[in-house]
Structure 1
Amino acid sequence: MQMLLHKQKKNPHSSKGNRLLITVNVLGSAGPLRFLVNEDELVAAVIDTTLKSYAREGRLPVLGSDLNNFRLYSANAGTDALSHWETIGSRGGRNFVLFKKPQRQLEATKGNIIARKGSSRWKAWLHRSLNLKISSH
């Protein structure tokens, strides 16, 4: 009888939780990616696996591999992105959409730096030109 009970107990070290078949649609890609994950796996790990699978399959457009540039949304759980530190099974969904984060803020910051550099060069040139014209009269 003890042997039967021992066999029925699950070993906590080998238990990985429930496995889920998830579908991740990548914005701009032809079709979804499907793979198995543990329900207690972090969203960051799922994004990483998605990006690696996407690249391995040679899909277009090329996305890159920095998981911090992406947000994962549950397809049927509202408009909030899942936190990278949240578990994939926390919202109960199995269908997800992967978006690249908007680069507008980064581009705007770069644009402002370039504009300031360009405008300071332009202003310096204008001041030199005006000083030359004024002093030559």
Structure 2
Amino acid sequence: MLLTRQKKNQAAKCSGNRFLISVTVFGSAGPIRFVVNEGQPVAAVVDTALKSYAREGRLPVLGSNLNEFVLYCPVIGTEALKPWETIGLFGVRNFMLCKKPSNKAVVGGDEEPVTKKSSGSWKTWFNKSLNLKVSSH
């Protein structure tokens, strides 16, 4: 009994501070919440978020390739977080997970670069969704 307590205390000391974060997946109904270590890299947090998202059976289906996604912190700015940075470095607990934009389109079996006019970032989408227009009949 005493041995298991000592192991738990040692594991708690080694793991560092843990905190609850919320990751909102772009296009999903609500955030995913889970506990992370402050020294955990952003790439590991994206991986955990994708696994939790799939385990809960949420829609739309995203896949599991963490290289296709970026993590944003709406409080800090519009730049995506670097995968090697630690999650505790930012001091925030709310994040947004978005799919990386693709610059290629398949036309007739060949891949051709497409210069697509982007509608902007998730902030633009969010602001547009708040502007509800009521049409009169």
What TM-score, normalized by structure 1, do the two folds share?
A: 0.69
Displacement over 6 Å in runs of 4+: none
Q: Distance in 2 between matches of 1:79 and 1:73?
A: 7
- Structure with greater proportional helix content: 1
Name the residue aligned to 1:77: 76
| Alignment pair present for 1:43 and 2:42 | yes
How big is the shift at 1:106?
2.8
- Structure with greater proportional strand content: 2
User: 1:24-35 maps to which residues of 2 (within 5 A)?
Assistant: 24-35=23-34
Q: How many residues matched?
A: 105
Q: How has the CA–CA distance of structure 1 residues 88 and 112 changed in structure 2, closer, same or farther, with 3 Å as cutoff?
A: farther
Q: Distance in 1 between matches of 2:109 and 2:86?
A: 39
Q: How has the CA–CA distance of structure 1 residues 92 and 56 changed in structure 2, closer, same or farther, with 3 Å as cutoff?
A: same
Name the residue aligned to 1:52: 51
Question: Over aligned residues, Cα RMSD in angstroms?
Answer: 2.5
Percent identity, aligned pairs only, is: 57
**Counterpart selection for 2:104 from 103, 106, 123:** 106
How big is the shift at 1:56?
0.3
Q: Distance in 2 between matches of 1:60 and 1:113?
A: 29
Return the index of the structure with the highest Cα Rg. Answer: 1
